[in-house]
Structures are given as C-alpha cells and as structure tokens.
Amino acid sequence: MTKHILVTDDDAHICDVISFALEKAGMQVTIANDGLQAVQAFRRQPADLIVLDINMPEMDGLEVCRELRRFSEVPILFLSSRDDEIDRILGLEIGGDDYVTKPFSPRELVARINAILKRTQASPAPADDAAQIRQGRLLMQPEQHQAYWQQQPVSLTATEFSMLLLLARNPRRVFNRDLIMQQAYDSHVYVSDRTIDSHIRHIRQKFADAGCQGIIDTVHGVGYKLASCS
C-alpha cells in the first residue's frame, strides 16, 4: 500500500525537494506550509508519517507535535535549520520519532522515513513470540503496536515501541546503545547516544504516568535492560 506523507515546511523549495524524493520512492505526498495547515490537513486526511519543520509561522513544529499527540501517535520526523541539541532533545521528548538538521540529503531523509515506517507496519509476529509478549505486569502486542501496564494502555511512538519491544523480548539481557540503535533504526542511519537516552527517558515517563515506577533499568557503563515488571 502506498504510504501517505504529510510534509510541513514554510519553505516552498524544501517542500518541492522532499516531495520529489518521496514521490520517486513511491509515496503519496501532501504539503502544508505552516503549522495550522498541518493540523487541519491531518484531521481531514490522516497521514502515515509527518515531516515537520520546527520553525514555522502560525504554529511552530513543537506546538504542532503537542497538538497532534493529544489525539494521534502518528510518527513525526522533525526538520530544523538549527543544529541545536536543545531542539533535538525537546522534539523527541514531546513525541517525535527522529530529527534531521538542514541542509540534509534527500536520500538520507527517505531512508529515515522508511526506517520509521518499517517499524510501524503491522507484520506477523515470529512464531516463538506468539501474538503477544508478557513480562509481569507489562504486556506488549507487536501486531497491534500496543503496550499495556496492568491492563492500562500506554501510548508509545514507533521508535519507543521498537526499543521497549527489544528489551521485553530479552528481559535478562543488557543492551548497549549501539544494539538498541540497530533495532530502532536502519543500520545506515546514525543517531547520537543522547537521542537514544532521550527516547528511554520518554518511555520511562509514560510508564511512570501509568503507575510503573521502573520499566527500564540503567546498567552504568553498559546500557539498558528491562526492569522487573512484577
């Protein structure tokens, strides 16, 4: 099925470049030129993923993300003209899945989009996984892309779900950031350690809001593992 991407940027040239690259990759593209248009366009026709510039008129990208997260977990890839770590971390903290700094390679952008879409596509679970994974009070349903804590649903972005699923499938194993990165992103896509840490922190906060005080343990100097979910 053709994937529908909502591209939001107030720079018409950038929209044209992204649209050309995505359409060449076989995707359908809708353009929004400011944040308000993006929210309205998504409400009219939900997309499979949103490419969202941070610095825009009407509503900036961070405001758009906050608004969308009130009713949707659609994957979001942020764009920004500033290589500012505060922007990157804040964008991921409020529910973004990835971050690309301008100027960017259209090929890399398409690769990152494909990596996110791959994680969100429902596919049959491996035979040894059955239909769901249960670790104490944590329940994960890979085919439905849904996580629960004590039967209460916990909304995770595609990247967050992929990371937690890796830990839940291997509850006694400690994963370093490189291994987590390989699970969450295609091997040719690089993200920083701080990006991984930000996603982990966001997962922890969502489960804390659901009443779980420790879903992921830090093994200092090594990496992360699933906490005891009993």
Question: DSSP characters for 163-193?
Answer: HHHHHHHSTT--B-HHHHHHHHS-TT----H
Regarding whether 101 and 67 lie in a shared domain, the answer is yes
CATH code of the domain in which 161 resides: 1.10.10.10
pLDDT above 70: percentage of residues in the chain: 85
Last residue of a domain, one of 65, 97, 120: 120
Say yes or no: 154 and 101 in one domain.
Answer: no
Look up the CATH number of the domain holding residue 35. 3.40.50.2300
Q: Are residues 28 and 85 in the same domain?
A: yes
- Residue 6's pLDDT is 97
State how far the Cα of 48 lies from the Cα of 42, in Å rounded to an integer.
10
Distance in angstroms (rounded) separating the CA atoms of residues 8 and 95: 17
Residues 169, 83: one domain?
no
Contacts for 172-177: CB closer than 8 Å, 24+ residues apart: 172/225, 173/225, 174/219, 174/222, 174/223, 174/224, 174/225, 175/223, 175/224, 175/225, 176/222, 176/223, 177/223
Residues 8 and 104 in one domain: yes
Q: Which of 87, 120, 153 is the last residue of a domain?
A: 120
CA proximity to 155, closest of 26, 65, 27, 69: 69
Reported confidence tier of residue 185, pLDDT bands at 50, 70, 90:
low
Whether 60 and 116 share a structural domain: yes
The secondary structure element, H or E, covering residue 76 is strand 76-80
Please give the single-letter amino acid code of residue 45: Q
139 and 112 share one domain: no
Predicted TM-score of the model (pTM)? 0.62
Winning range, highest mean pLDDT, from 8-12, 113-117, 144-148 = 8-12
Mean pLDDT, residues 61-88 taken together: 81
Clarify whether residues 12 and 101 are in a common domain: yes
Q: Which of 74, 92, 120 is the last residue of a domain?
A: 120
Q: Looking at the structure, tell me whether residues 111 and 154 fall in a common domain.
A: no
The answer to whether residues 86 and 153 belong to one domain is no
Q: Per residue in 142-165, is it b (16+ CB within 10 Å) or e — as a string?
A: beebebbbeeeebebbbbbbbbbb
Pair 174, 72 in one domain: no
pLDDT mean across residues, the chain: 84
| Range of the structural domain that residue 64 is part of | 4-120
Contact (CB, 8 A) for 15 and 7: yes
Counting the structural domains of the chain, the total is: 2
One domain, residues 157 and 190: yes
Taking only the tens place, the pLDDT of each residue in 135-172 is 889 999 888 888 999 888 998 888 888 889 989 988 88
Quote the DSSP letter at residue 112.
H
